[in-house]
Amino acid sequence: MRRFLSFRDFDWTLLGFVLILSIISILEIYSATMHTKFVGFHKMQMLWLLGGLGAMFVFSVIDYHRLLEFIHWIYGFCIVSLIAVLAVGTKVLGARRWIKLPGGIHFQPSEWVKLVLIVAIARYFWGLSGRELTWKDIFKAMALVGVPMLLVLKQPDLGTALTYSPVLLVGLFLGGIDWKKAGIIILVGLLAVGVIWKSGKVLKPYQKARLTSFMNPDDDPKGSGYQIRQSLIAVGDGGVFGRGATKGTQTQGDFLPIPYTDFIFAAFCEEHGFIGASIVLLLYFLILMRLIQNAQTAADLPGTLIVMGVVAVLIFQIAVNIGMVIGLMPVTGIPLPLMSYGGSSVLFTFLALGMVMNVRMNRFVN
Amino acid sequence: MLNREEKLPGFKLTVIQYVIVAILLILVFGLWRLQVVGAENYHALAEANRIRKVPILAPRGKLFDREGRLLVDNYPSISCYLVREQGHDYMADLPMIARGLNMTVDQIVAILKKYQLAPKYQPLPLKQDITPDEHEFIEAHRDEFPELETVEEQRRLYPKDGFAAHLIGYVGEVSEDMLNDPKYAYYEPGDVVGRSGVEQSYDAMLRGQDGSQDVIVDSHGREVGKLGTEHAVPGKSLKLTIDIDIQRAAENALGDRNGAIIAMDPHSGEVLAMVSRPVFDPNAFAVRIGRDEWNKLVTDPEHPLLNKAIQAQLAPGSTFKIIMAAAGLEEGVAQDLKVHCSGGVSLFGTYQKCWVHGGHGEVNIDKGIYQSCDVFFYTLAAKLGIERIAKWAHAFGIGSKTGIDLPNEVSGTMPSAEWKMRLFHQKWYPGEVTSVGIGQGAVTATPVQMARALSGIASGGALKRPHVIFPDELPADYRKAMYDTFPGSGDKVVPIDPASWETITDAMAQVMQPGYGTDPSAHLEGIDFAGKTGSAQTMSNALAARLGHAHSVKDNAWFVGFAPRRNPDIVVCILFEAGEHGKLAGRLAARVIAAYVNKQRRLENNLIAKTPNKVDVGAIWDNPSQPKIFGGKQVVKPQGDQAEMWGGHFYLTMPPVKTSTLATAMVGGN
């Protein structure tokens, strides 16, 4: 089946952009944690990064068609692991998101589900290819994503649950939904959001407060508006050129909440200003465009769908995280890919890239 | 099975590309808005976040007595705070902490409860003004109890046992009322200000100017660096006119009797001593008084917070007869007035009793004063009429404030026809004048008014504004402002014929002469001591009889005395509440006068050594039964100039007194 696979076809350009961002991330984590008890996290991040790179190379030689074949089993295992989290997971800060594995490693299944969903959606729409989507097809796709989404929402982890939705949206869009059905889904979706918000059953009050406080952060500057307020101050304090590495007063004075994970972009903005922030956004642009180019050159539909699933998750996380940092989006606790500290996030990103690499290396197959 | 050749129309991917570009452009726009347009604003907010103005409290000015001996000092006081944001389970430490700080766990839990709504980063005041032992405990357990934090502040240290407490006053947190008063615009919430006595009236001089320091803090308020400092300007120290020796004599004389003593130099109006009973401990206020303790002080029927020397307005009784005598002589009525006292007299249709049951026999002005014959003064009052009495009483300052530089002086009452109409819309009945003649009826006066009036008469009519701070200590404009703040009769001369002046003072000297006057027990051998007793009813005889407790309501004993008899150097007014007879007050005055005269003689004869020594007058934590432990070791008190203050101990610098038998043998006076 496979003819010839060579690392000459590996997307070194893409990897270059990714590594530049990763280095920026490590430097910023160093700066943001230097005066806190999290000092040294940048070294941890380097280890995660090396692990991620290794995993990416391993993944890149696994033919994605093999993944597509076994995705039913993997998907089933994911659902089981999410249920296991709810049953026996470790509770941290009121939420059950982690499973403690032997050896003391904490494992967060909801991160991996993203990857599985990307492949599962690709497999699903590949199977439907060629015909117009019926309502039944659409509901099946929604259930495919909706089941793990509800389980994660139950943890509760609103942020991660939301990152599953772009996979579905891109799948529907590329899978051939017609405009009429899309319009109806959008309308019903908006209505559902309104009902859920009003009913107060699905979302906990603190989640609601976080979601709305970004609009008026000054209403409750010590409470729910605190994080967003401090973040805005940090970003604005940076100005055009920034306060300089390790010199951001918001970042160093511990005013900015968790400046090495969710709010790392605010810390970076304070220390490197508008120019630095624009460079990071440019890097994201280049990475995303390079990914889409790989999607275009993919050998087949599932290849394209896998790459575009990765693109969808990445742009969603970038938009929501940076939007949150600059006050355009609510606080949802979604990390910034390639910037935020965290093993699960790094591994997801690099495994996703590994799949993309494999799609690229397989582009001349057939 | 599955078609691997299937491909997508390219335009859908292009759409996604444009969506991504749009999203990124929105993000760039958002960044532009914050970092380019709003940079200045957010930069200011960031600075406000990290820079905290920490006030540097100006130490209040010290208070000294007229000889420069320290009366009120500041001491560095350490307060203990509980910091909850230490990631430490402080609840588990509570029993140990409570033991180390000499508190109970319940007390600490009560504090935690009280502040449970306070933000986590705010330290909670566990205990104010901790002792050296408790400080030692905190320092020794820094690692075990990182949640304990100490803060040093300057606190007021007052003499023990309420020595001169009413005169000095106390400090406290500025009240809501004061903050709303435009007069005190310079006060800010939380300021410690004088709330009574000299502390209040001279607050503007004593308080100084607080400074501040810009400190760089992190989000937990932890200090991570320092910026500029604006230094505090310490408050001005003030020298009081009080003489500690005379004050001490007055404190001892009054003991625990209710009442007041004021001793004054009639030449200048300088107050030498001022005592009021019952007393309170101003140190309790300096450390922050508890609500219960405060309520107890405020609701106490004996009014311990009241400075009775200037705030008790009571019938002056027979001491008022001196003012009557001056009025009678100046109006030319009393010189030749002779009455026969048979124990009472019928005037205006009612029979009025004299205090001596059998009567005084033939009485003229001299005997009227030294025997305090009521019949003589009933008659004199009837002859003078209320208008002429009121004119002279007003001239001597009865019914108006003296203008002493202490807060909340009261004016007392001098009745007159106009006064009665204004207040009661009633006509004055001539028969009411007789009770006025013996200082009863509607007449009320404060001890400071009586001291000023009677010593003024003894000084040929020169009345002075009483004061407790030397006027030359104050800048001219401040002095004027003080006079405007405390308006009153002030300095003034009431011309008195030397003949009447001599008659009155000679008769007052007779009061203490055995065999003549009402108060021979206050006689001071070798001291030219003149005075007048008073036993003032607190309600009229008729009312007391009707209420049926004529014997349960005791008379107030008054005494105003001075030495020497003419142009006196010291006047002492005693109010001994429920003292029954003026002569009992006279004995107390004699002790103060004797202390003064003896001191003057020792000074004249150079019997007081030049080098002062320090006398321990007590401490806040002083407990003589327990030796002082500091740092685990029993410590010998430092001597001499080594320390004005040691561990909250408080020393007065006292001149050593050489004992001498000469003092009592000296011939004094004129």
A328/B218 Cβ within 8 A: no
| Pairing assessment for the beta strands A106-107 and B51-56 based on DSSP bridges | unpaired
Our CA angle for A254, A257, A262, nearest 5°, is: 135
Q: Are B533 and B511 in contact (CB under 8 A)?
A: yes
pLDDT at A248: 86
A300/B20 Cβ within 8 A: no
Q: Is residue A216 part of a domain?
A: yes
Instruction: Judge whether B29 is closer than 8 Å to chain A, CB to CB.
Output: no
pLDDT at B221: 60
Instruction: Judge whether A337 is closer than 8 Å to chain B, CB to CB.
Output: no
**A222, A253, A289 member nearest B50 (Cβ):** A253
d(CA B191, CA A214) in angstroms, rounded, equals: 38
Judging by beta carbons within 10 Å of its beta carbon (0-12, 13-18, 19+), is residue B188 exposed, middle or buried?
exposed
Strand, coil or helix: what is B118? coil
* Domains of chain B as residue ranges with CATH: 54-239 (3.90.1310.10), 244-604 (3.40.710.10), 613-665 (no CATH)
Residues of A within 8 A of B34 (CB-CB) are 232, 235-236, 269, 326-327
Q: Is residue A251 part of a domain?
A: yes
Instruction: Judge whether B603 is closer than 8 Å to chain A, CB to CB.
Output: no
Q: Are B509 and B532 in contact (CB under 8 A)?
A: no
Domain region containing A68:
64-361
pLDDT at B667: 35
pLDDT at A198: 81
Instruction: Judge whether A339 is closer than 8 Å to chain B, CB to CB.
Output: no
Residues of B within 8 A of A249 (CB-CB) are 46-47, 49-50
Judging by beta carbons within 10 Å of its beta carbon (0-12, 13-18, 19+), is residue B32 exposed, middle or buried?
middle
Q: Is the dihedral of CA A300, A302, A307, A308 positive or negative?
A: positive
B6/A126 Cβ within 8 A: yes
d(CA B537, CA B543) in angstroms, rounded, equals: 11
Which amino acid would we find at residue A292? I
Residues of B within 8 A of A222 (CB-CB) are 119
Instruction: Note if the pTM is more than 0.90.
Output: no
CA-to-CA separations, A145 to A49, A204, B607, in angstroms, rounded: 28, 22, 105
Instruction: Judge whether B39 is closer than 8 Å to chain A, CB to CB.
Output: yes
* Radius of gyration of chain B from its Cα atoms, rounded to whole angstroms: 34
Instruction: Judge whether A200 is closer than 8 Å to chain B, CB to CB.
Output: no
Interface test with A, best of B1, B7, B8 (most A CBs within 10 A): B8
B17/A322 Cβ within 8 A: no
Interface test with A, best of B5, B31, B41 (most A CBs within 10 A): B31
d(CA A282, CA A288) in angstroms, rounded, equals: 10
| Pairing assessment for the beta strands B649-654 and B361-363 based on DSSP bridges | unpaired
Distance, in angstroms, between B36 CA and closest chain A CA?
Answer: 6
Q: Is residue A53 part of a domain?
A: no
Strand partners, B314: B445
Surface of A (207-266) touching B: CB under 8 A: 222, 230, 232-240, 249-250, 252-255
Q: How many helices and strands in chain A, by DSSP H and E?
A: 14, 3
Interface test with B, best of A249, A279, A293 (most B CBs within 10 A): A249
How far, in whole angstroms, is CA B46 from its chain's centroid?
47
**A126, A173, A328 member nearest B30 (Cβ):** A328
Interface test with A, best of B1, B27, B33, B217 (most A CBs within 10 A): B27
Which amino acid would we find at residue A221? P
Q: Is residue A112 part of a domain?
A: yes
pLDDT at A55: 93
Q: Closest chain A residue to B7 measured between Cα atoms?
A: A301
Q: Is the dihedral of CA B174, B180, B181, B184 positive or negative?
A: positive
A326/B16 Cβ within 8 A: no
When divided into structural domains, chain A yields a total of 1
d(CA B505, CA B524) in angstroms, rounded, equals: 16
Strand order in the sheet with B223-230: B51-56, B211-217, B223-230
B23/A318 Cβ within 8 A: yes
Token pair 């327990």 is at which residue? B626
**A129, A296, A323 member nearest B6 (Cβ):** A129
Distance, in angstroms, between B33 CA and closest chain A CA?
Answer: 8
A238/B39 Cβ within 8 A: yes
3-state SS, one letter per residue, for B212-251 = EEEEEECCCCCEEEEEEEECCECCCCEEECCCHHHHHHHH
Residues of chain A with pLDDT under 50: 1
CA-to-CA separations, B334 to B23, B359, B363, B510, in angstroms, rounded: 109, 20, 11, 18
B34/A236 Cβ within 8 A: yes
Both tokens of A297, joined, read 């050159």
Split chain B (670 residues) into runs of 10 and give each run's mean pLDDT: 54 92 96 92 85 74 87 82 70 86 87 74 75 85 77 79 90 74 70 86 86 73 72 87 92 91 94 93 70 76 88 92 93 90 88 87 91 92 93 93 92 91 90 90 93 92 93 87 84 90 91 86 87 83 58 81 90 91 89 90 70 49 40 42 41 48 35
Instruction: Judge whether A306 is closer than 8 Å to chain B, CB to CB.
Output: no
Residues of A within 8 A of B52 (CB-CB) are none
A226-238 helix and A301-325 helix, angle to the nearest 10 degrees: 90
Q: Are B637 and B646 in contact (CB under 8 A)?
A: yes
Both tokens of B640, joined, read 């001499």
Instruction: Judge whether A274 is closer than 8 Å to chain B, CB to CB.
Output: yes
pLDDT at B85: 61
A236/B39 Cβ within 8 A: yes
Q: Closest chain B residue to A318 measured between Cα atoms?
A: B24
Both tokens of B581, joined, read 């007879």
Q: Is residue A69 part of a domain?
A: yes
d(CA B334, CA B357) in angstroms, rounded, equals: 24
Q: Is residue A45 part of a domain?
A: no
Residues of B within 8 A of A127 (CB-CB) are 2
Strands (E), chain A: 90-92, 95-100, 106-107
Q: Is residue A213 part of a domain?
A: yes
CA-to-CA separations, B347 to B342, B353, B375, in angstroms, rounded: 14, 11, 10
Strand, coil or helix: what is A169? helix
- Any residues with CB less than 8 A from the CB of A215 and at least 6 apart, and which? none
d(CA A7, CA A57) in angstroms, rounded, equals: 9
Q: Is residue A13 part of a domain?
A: no
Instruction: Judge whether B513 is closer than 8 Å to chain A, CB to CB.
Output: no
Q: Are B159 and B113 in contact (CB under 8 A)?
A: no
pLDDT at B622: 40
Q: Are B59 and B210 in contact (CB under 8 A)?
A: no
Residues of A within 8 A of B45 (CB-CB) are 233, 236-237
